Amino acid sequence: MWRRAASLSSSIFSSSSRRALRDRGAYSSKAMEFSSAEPFKGEGCLSKEKNLYITFVLGGPGSGKGTQCAKIVENFGYTHLSAGELLRQEIASNSEDGVMILDMIKEGKIVPSEVTVKLIQKGMESCDNGKFLIDGFPRNEENRTAFEQIIGAEPNIVLFFDCPEEEMIKRVLNRNEGRVDDNIDTIRKRLKVFAASHYPVIDYYSKKGKLYKIDAIGTEDEIFERVRPVFAACEGAQ
């Protein structure tokens, strides 16, 4: 069972790890636009006493969040919790909230925070592993503050997959997973919601020095080579 993080500001990399990461090209000058002057102050990686290490994985629809999460899981032993997938499971289980969630997803809207955070909480509590990738959440400021209040923790780091809209549309239309929201009308709505709501979240974590902006154009493997150093430095610091 994971234990609740006592601090809302836990951070992982020592300044030497951060230097090494930068030297290895983990983030481009573009990514640095989002980084604060003094990003990492923490000592350990997965905080020993808290036993909880959280990464939020953000980006627009089709930016490759799920694809890269699978690679992070494979290489670094994280538990992947996709907020969208948890909501789809809730629909499939015919739960009380299922119809409301389905309506919101079809319209590309953001499901009320409490519903999503409770599902994430259940996922985290049912898992012995303390290393979590929380994929596709928080989608807006209200999501972000609800997570802090309900879970009592902040992410240690935040990945943001930066992808042009045309590429996201192309990928979603080719996704072929039978999702009710992978059609051009819903994609356009989702992109509008994304454009209107993601920036304050990104900006918040940037100012806290937790944000890694990853260029999401390239092959899946090329993109993972941009992601890998972020986690490799973390492992090295343990």
Ligand X SMILES: Nc1ncnc2c1ncn2[C@@H]1O[C@H](COP(=O)(O)OP(=O)(O)O)[C@@H](O)[C@H]1O
Ligand Y SMILES: O=c1ccn([C@@H]2O[C@H](COP(=O)(O)OP(=O)(O)O)[C@@H](O)[C@H]2O)c(=O)[nH]1
* Interacting residues with ligand X (CB under 6 A): 59, 61-67, 171, 174-175, 218-220, 223
| Sign of the C-alpha dihedral computed for residues 148, 151, 162 and 28 taken in this order | positive
Kindly determine how many residues on this chain lie close enough to bind ligand Y according to the rule CB under 6 A: 21
Tokens of 160: 């943001």
> Which residues are 164's β-sheet partners?
none
Please check if 18 is assigned to a binding site. Answer: no
Q: How far is the CB of 123 from ligand Y (least distance, A)?
A: 12
* Residue 65: CB minimum distance to Mg ion, A: 5
State yes or no: 98 annotated in a binding site. no
Q: Which of 124, 181, 191, 201 binds ligand Y (CB under 6 A)?
A: 181
- At its nearest, how many Å lie between ligand Y and the CB of residue 107? 7
Of ligand X, ligand Y, Mg ion, none, which one sits near residue 110, judging by CB under 5 to 8 A according to partner kind? ligand Y
Is residue 55 part of an annotated ligand binding site?
no
Q: Does residue 146 touch ligand Y according to CB under 6 A?
A: no
Between 139 and 210, name the residue whose CB sits nearer to Mg ion.
139
* Residue 67 binds which entry of ligand X, Mg ion, ligand Y, none, CB below 5-8 Å type-dependent: ligand X
Distance in Å, CB of 222 to ligand X, minimum: 7
Residue 102, amino acid: L
What is the residue-wise DSSP string for the chain? -----S-SS-----HHHHHHHHHTTSS-HHHHTT--SS----S-SS-TTT--EEEEEEESTTSSHHHHHHHHHHHH-PEEEEHHHHHHHHHHTT-TTHHHHHHHHHTTPPPPHHHHHHHHHHHHHT-S--EEEEET---SHHHHHHHHHHH----SEEEEEE--HHHHHHHHHT--S--TT-SHHHHHHHHHHHHHHHHHHHHHHHHTT-EEEEE--S-HHHHHHHHHHHHHHHHHT-
Nearest position to ligand Y, beta carbon:
84
88 belongs to an annotated ligand binding site? yes
Q: Which is nearer to ligand Y, 130 or 136 (CB)?
A: 136
Question: Is residue 209 part of an annotated ligand binding site?
Answer: no
Residue 116 binding ligand Y, by CB under 6 A: yes
Residues that bind ligand Y (CB under 6 A): 61-62, 65-66, 82-84, 87, 104-105, 108-111, 116, 136-137, 139, 143, 181, 190
Binding residues for CMP: 143
Q: Which residues are annotated as a binding site for ATP?
A: 62-67, 175, 218
